[in-house]
Amino acid sequence: MNLHLYDTATREVGVFKPLIPGEVSIYVCGATVQSHPHIGHVRSAVNFDILRRWLTWSGYDVTFIRNVTDIDDKILHKAVHEKSSWWAVAMKYERMFTQAFASLNVLPPTYEPRATGHITQMIELMQKLIENGDAYAPGNGDVYLEVRKLKRYLTLSGQKLDDLQPAADADETFKKDPRDFALWKAAKPGDPSWPTPWGPGRPGWHLECSAMAHAYLGEAFDIHGGGLDLVFPHHENEIAQSEAAGYKFANRWLHNAWVTQSGEKMSKSLGNALQVEVILQRVRGIELRWYLGSAHYRSMLEYSEAALDESAVAFRRIENFLTRSVELLGTEPEPTINDAFCAAMNDDLAVPAALASISENLRLGNQAITDGDKKAIAKNANEIRGALQILGCDPFDSNYPQGASAHVNDALDGVIPLALKERTAARERKDFAASDAIRDGLLELGITIEDTAQGPRWSMGEKS
C-alpha cells in the first residue's frame, strides 16, 4: 500500500502523490517566538517530524521548511514587558524552541527561514497583489487584501464570508470591507519598521508564510502543515494571498490536533500551558517524545501526569528489551521496518496501530530471550529499532543523551560484578539475608539487580 494522507481541504484520506516524483516539499508553520515552548508546540513538531522521517524512509527526497515568526505584535508587547528589545526577545525564545526541539530529537528543518529575513520577498508579493488589483494601500501605510474579490476564499475551512463574526478589535477606518486583512501594518512610533513603497511598516502575520513558502518551495508544493487553529484565519489568508498572486501553493493540508488539559486546549491565554523544560524534569526527552508521538496526529491528546508516567514506563519496557538484546547478541540492532508497521504508517500515519506491531515484537522478543533464540531476538530487536527510529525514539540515536559517560560505565561494569559475585556465593550457601542485603544496598544506590536465566544482570535507574 502506498502512503495515504488526510487532507484538510477535502476532509478525506487519499493517496499521496508528490508533484515531482521522488521529491516531497513541506512547509510547516513554526512558532511565533514570544514565550517558552509548551508541549502543544512540540507535539506539532514531533508529528511533522514523524511524517518527514516516514517520507524519507519511503525513499523521498524531502525538503522541509519550518519558519520562525520573529516579528509580531506579541513579540513587541513582550519586549515592552521584559524591558528588552524586540529582536532580543525573539532570539531568546527562538533559542528555547530550538533547544526544546533538539531535546526531543526533532530534526532541524532543511531550511528555517525567519520572517525578518524575507521582507524583500514580502514587498514583491504585495506589489504583485496590488498590480493584480486584489490588494490595496489606502495611504496610511497599511496594505490590505480585498477578500471579496477572491472566488475561493474560505474553502479550506468551509465557511462563508458573511457568516463570520465581525472582528471586534479591528481598526476598520481604512478597510474597504471589515473582513479584509492586513498584509502589512504601518509603523507606529517606536515600533520596528522596514521601508516600502507605501511607507515604513512591518509584516502582517499571514504574508510572511506565503512569501517564504514561495521563496523556498516555488509556486506549488506538496504539503502545508500546522496546528488546527491555523486553518482559519492564517492558512485561509495564506491561500488567498498566494492564489491571488497566481501561485498554486499547497497541494495538501495537514493539521495536527491539540494537547489538551482538563478537556481544554492548552494555551498560554488559558494559563494551562505546560512548558517543555518543566516536563523534562519529570521524564527524559525520548520519553516525552514517545508520549507525544504515540497518539494519532489528528486526535486530541489529553495530558495528565499519570498518562505521561504510564507512557514512560511502557517505553522503558521496550528500551529494556533492546538493551538486553545488545547484552545477549553483542551488537546493536539493525533498524528494519516490518509489514505491519509499514501498513499502519502508510494509512495516514496510524501510529497507534503501528504501536500494536511493536507490542507484538516486544512479546515475541522477550519470549526469544527466555528461549535463548538469538535469531528471533535479533529479528524482533531489529524491527523494534526500525519502528522507533521512524518515531524518533531510537535509544541508540546519538542525538539523545546516553547517560553516564563511557569510563564511568566501564568502572561500574568492573565493580558491580564483584558485589554480584558475593551475592551469588551467599545465595549458593542459602544465606538469603546476606544476598538480599547486597541487592537492597545496590538498589539504594539506584542499581537494580535482576536474576535472569543467564545469571544476574544490573541496570541503573532510568532517571538521570
Give the footprint of RNA on residues 192-211 (CB under 7 A).
205
Q: Does 147 help bind RNA (rule: CB under 7 A)?
A: yes
Distance from the Cα of residue 232 to its chain's centroid: 21
> For residues 73-92, which are near RNA according to CB under 7 A?
73-74
Binding residue for RNA, selected from 6, 9, 25, 44, defined by CB under 7 A: 44
Q: Number of residues in contact with RNA, rule: CB under 7 A?
A: 88
DSSP codes joined into one string, 93-147 = HHHHHHHHHHHTTPPPPSB--BGGGGHHHHHHHHHHHHHHTSEE--SSS-EEE-G
> Cα 326 vs. chain centroid, distance in angstroms?
29
Q: Which of 3, 9, 119, 266 binds RNA (CB under 7 A)?
A: 266
> What are the start-end ranges of the H helices in 230-304?
236-244, 276-279, 285-293
Question: Binding to RNA by residue 313, rule CB under 7 A?
Answer: yes
Identity of the residue, 152 or 432, whose beta carbon is nearer to RNA in the bound complex: 432
Of 419, 423, 420, 446, nearest in space to 434 by CA:
423
Q: How many residues does the chain have?
A: 464
Q: How far is the CB of 186 from RNA (least distance, A)?
A: 16
Residue 448 touches RNA, criterion: CB under 7 A: yes
> Using the rule CB under 7 A, is 186 a contact of RNA?
no
Q: Write down the least CB distance from residue 405 to RNA, Å.
A: 25
Q: Does 327 bind RNA (CB under 7 A)?
A: no
For 71, left (φ over 0), alpha (ψ -120 to 50), or beta?
A: beta
Task: Determine, following the binding rule CB under 7 A, whether residue 367 of this chain makes contact with RNA.
Answer: yes
Cβ nearer to RNA, comparing 217 with 312:
312
Candidates 100-108, 192-200, 215-223, 293-301 — which segment interacts with RNA by CB under 7 A? 293-301
Least Å distance, CB 213 to RNA, is 14
Looking at beta carbons only, is 11 or 407 nearer to RNA?
Answer: 11
State yes or no: residue 29 binds RNA (CB under 7 A). yes
The residue from 15, 307, 408, 425 that contacts RNA (CB under 7 A) is: 307
The yes or no reply on residue 234 touching RNA (CB under 7 A) is: yes
Distance CA 293, CA 459 (A): 27
Residue 396 Cα distances to 92, 196, 326, 336, angstroms: 31, 51, 11, 14
Nearest to 222 by CA among 49, 50, 64, 41: 64
Task: Indicate which single residue of 31, 50, 65, 381 sits in contact with RNA (rule: CB under 7 A).
Answer: 31
Q: How far apart are CA 373 and CA 52, in angstroms?
A: 35
State the minimum distance, in angstroms, from the CB of residue 401 to RNA: 23
Q: Which of 2, 59, 83, 169 binds RNA (CB under 7 A)?
A: 169
Q: Tell which one of 250, 301, 328, 416 touches RNA (CB under 7 A).
A: 301
Separation CA 456–CA 323 (nearest Å):
15
Residue 275 found at the interface with RNA (CB under 7 A): no
Question: What DSSP element (H or E) covers 51?
Answer: helix 39-57
Span of 108-116, 155-163, 382-390, 401-409 interacting with RNA by CB under 7 A = 155-163
Interface with RNA in residues 235-264 (CB under 7 A): 237, 256-260, 263-264
- Do residues 341 and 358 lie in contact, with contact meaning Cβ atoms separated by under 8 Å? yes
> β-pairing, 447-452 with 455-460?
antiparallel
